[in-house]
Amino acid sequence: MSTVGAANTSSAAATDTLLQVDNLGKRFGGFVALENIVLSVAAGERVGLIGPNGSGKSTLVNCICGTLRNEQGTVYFGHRKLDGLNAHQRTHLGLARSFQLPRPFVSLTLADNIRIPLIYAVAARRGSHYAAHEIEERCYALLREVGLGDKARRLPRDLTQVEMRKLELARAMAAEPKLLIADEAMAGLTHSEIEDILSLLIRLNEQGVTIILIEHIMSAVMSFSRRLIVLVSGRKIADGMPDQVMRDPEVERAYLGQ
Amino acid sequence: MIVRTPVFLLIWLGICALVFAASIGLNNDYIFFAGYVVLQYVVLSTAWNILGGYCGYVNFGSAAFFALGAYSSVAIYRLVTENDLYGIPIPVLMLIGGVVSGVVGFGMGYLTLRLRGAFFAIATLALAVVLQTLVVNWDYVGGSRGAYIIRPEQIAPIGNYIRYLFLIMMLLAVAAITIARLIEHSRLGYGFASIRDDELAAEASGVPTLRLKLVATTISGALMGMAGAPFPYYIGYLQPSSTFGLDYAVNSIAMPLIGGTTGWVGPLIGALLLGSLQQIATVTISSAVNLLIVGCLLVFFVIIAPNGIVGLIHTYLQRKPEDFVGRRPVETEIPGQVP
């Protein structure tokens, strides 16, 4: 691992650590997908997670969110050990994610898509349910926030690609997360659409939500992230300020070749 | 506007009272014999739909749950007659049958939690085979020879026993559709729908998918068992090969599919339509034609109206391209696009 992030990591540890990944390892048969991943994310941070295809970004997200079980290491979320918890239990704790390929509930309207995390995740965390009209208001408010307010009664199949990604984000936001992991929320979008999503994420961060952005579009990652983590072949090779990380010889080698 | 559950229940009890009075007015006990079977299918298809339609888990073992209810009644009947005990009323037998099948449903859910799609369907089919083998080798309930149940001729205020069975099955059918409707409009219903659409996304949205699936398999199994419990009293002679027969499994899948799987109305319409057709075919042509009718209708609907009769009506009512919220898009309106 490079040393560029050392100063930053220690400063992050000084503030309130929200997510702590210790020595995480994951294998698929003989293939080592992740090896000794160590990282920590402080509350309120905007972190970019990058790496070439197959470097283990999505696997890492899946291990953090409980979709996959890690064989090695531990994940802490707000000082709570997550090992052994199911994905939905982690969502209840305040860990939400959006999927790389949007996975809407196709038979439910947009408003009902948003309703699911509201009646399950948020209710479980609060210990009580929202009243019916409150749920309705929250659904519409969230859809308006991502710019889908006029399509609340539509089905996901009526949406365009960018709208589908916005719905994906809105559903993750509906879980009222402390940490939101956006897995390639901008793939395949035009420049202005990317701007849309970015400003949405920044607004969300300003409301106090910690965000980890996984992205291939470098301009988006660079403008969004305050810290950059680079994965290559299942190992973390850099962690630090974006411009410093991009100058790191090891990162350059991974991205541009020798 | 959504009708409140007590009102919904009252409306259906009113309809039941009318149907029962009309059937008595016709003064032909065959109505009750045929009606019982149709109502039994209403319960079976509604129960199947709670797991199959709402959660998207196709259960091929409906016959097993049905038969478990029936055989729990046989076992109790034998226990009672051998020990000269006081006869147990049918509603209590139904509760026992419901508990037995509910527990087995829970067990099946627990064992097959990680299975999806075709694998789940095959596992339920296997469960039916295993249970049938157990019953065939269980002498106490008659084994492969079958078991006779001698039902009373009359029962106090109602008269002929078949009328009593008909009435009970009608009440169970009302209970089943009320439960299905309650689920549909509740948090549980939304949870089930999210499981049906995308289990991974449901889990990420905080839905405890494993627990909800267990709830679904238990309720579904219990209702099927309740439908099976009075069956020995109806048929008089119970045989494993017919009780575990393909008819029940196929019908309880075909009826919701033909009616529409997304709500409580679909299985009801499908069961009333197919059940009545089958009863008419039985007396006019032959009982062997039944499955042929089901097969043909199923093929027809899968091709013409994959969302069933309810979906067809829904699409028709929502035929407004600019504000389209129906179940199927108007794909033909886009020239050159292959649906």
| Res B81 pLDDT > 70 | yes
CB contact under 8 A, B203 and A105: no
Q: Per-residue pLDDT averaged across B187-192, rounded?
A: 93
Which residues of chain B are within 8 Å of residue A65 when distances are taken between CB atoms? 204
Q: Give, in order, the Cα–Cα distances in Å from B170 to each of A71, A179, A185, B163, B260.
A: 54, 52, 52, 10, 21
Mean pLDDT of all residues belonging to chain B: 87
Nearest CA in chain A to B192: A116
Determine contact: A175 vs chain B, CB below 8 A. yes
Which residues of chain A are within 8 Å of residue B187 when distances are taken between CB atoms? 119-120, 129
- The secondary structure of B120-186, three-state, reads HHHHHHHHHHHHHHHHHCCHHHCHHHCEECCCCCEECCCEEHHHHHHHHHHHHHHHHHHHHHHHHCC
The answer to whether the beta carbons of residues B36 and B167 sit under 8 Å apart is no
pLDDT tens sequence across B147-187? 888 888 777 777 788 899 999 999 999 999 999 999 988 99
Which residue of A105, A115, A126 to mutate against B (max B Cβ within 10 Å)? Answer: A105
Determine contact: A131 vs chain B, CB below 8 A. no
pLDDT on residue B154? 77
Q: How confident is the model at residue B284 (pLDDT cuts 50, 70, 90)?
A: confident
pLDDT on residue B319? 65
- Find residue A32's DSSP bridge partners: A27
Nearest CA in chain A to B212: A120
CA-closest candidate to residue B39, choices B153, B162, B152, B148: B162
Domain ranges of chain B: 35-246
State yes or no: ipTM above 0.95. Answer: no
Range name among A227-231, B99-103, B116-120 with the lowest pLDDT average: B116-120
Q: Show the CA angle centred on residue B178, arms to residues B197 and B191, nearest 5°.
A: 25
Nearest CA in chain B to A152: B325
- Percent of chain B with pLDDT strictly greater than 90: 52
pLDDT on residue B336? 42
pLDDT on residue B255? 92
The B residues from 246 to 285 touching A (CB cutoff 8 Å) are 262
In the structure encoding, which two tokens stand for residue B78, read together? 């034998």
Determine contact: B330 vs chain A, CB below 8 A. no
Which residues of chain B are within 8 Å of residue A89 when distances are taken between CB atoms? 208
pLDDT on residue B179? 95
The answer to whether the beta carbons of residues B39 and B173 sit under 8 Å apart is yes
Which residues of chain B are within 8 Å of residue A105 when distances are taken between CB atoms? 193-194, 197-198, 201-202
Nearest to B193 among A89, A108, A157 (CB): A108
| Res B330 pLDDT > 70 | no
Determine contact: A206 vs chain B, CB below 8 A. no
CA torsion angle B103 B107 B112 B114 (round to 10)? 100
Determine the 3-state secondary structure of A27 from DSSP. Answer: strand
Nearest CA in chain A to B195: A105
CA-closest candidate to residue A174, choices B95, B112, B194, B32: B194
Distance from CA of B47 to the nearest CA of A (A): 21
Domain ranges of chain A: 6-106+178-256
CA-closest candidate to residue A173, choices A126, A125, A141: A141
pLDDT on residue B55? 92
Q: Per-residue pLDDT averaged across B251-271, rounded?
A: 91
pLDDT on residue B294? 84
The answer to whether the beta carbons of residues B228 and B65 sit under 8 Å apart is yes
Give pTM, 2 decimals.
0.87
CB contact under 8 A, A117 and B200: no
pLDDT tens sequence across A1-26? 444 444 444 444 446 889 999 989 99
Give me the CATH code for the A6-106+178-256 domain, please. 3.40.50.300
Residue type, B242: S
pLDDT on residue B51? 93
Cα gap B218→B222, rounded to integer Å: 6
| Res B338 pLDDT > 80 | no
Give every residue of chain A whose pLDDT is below 70, as ranges. Answer: 1-15, 256-258
Determine contact: A178 vs chain B, CB below 8 A. no
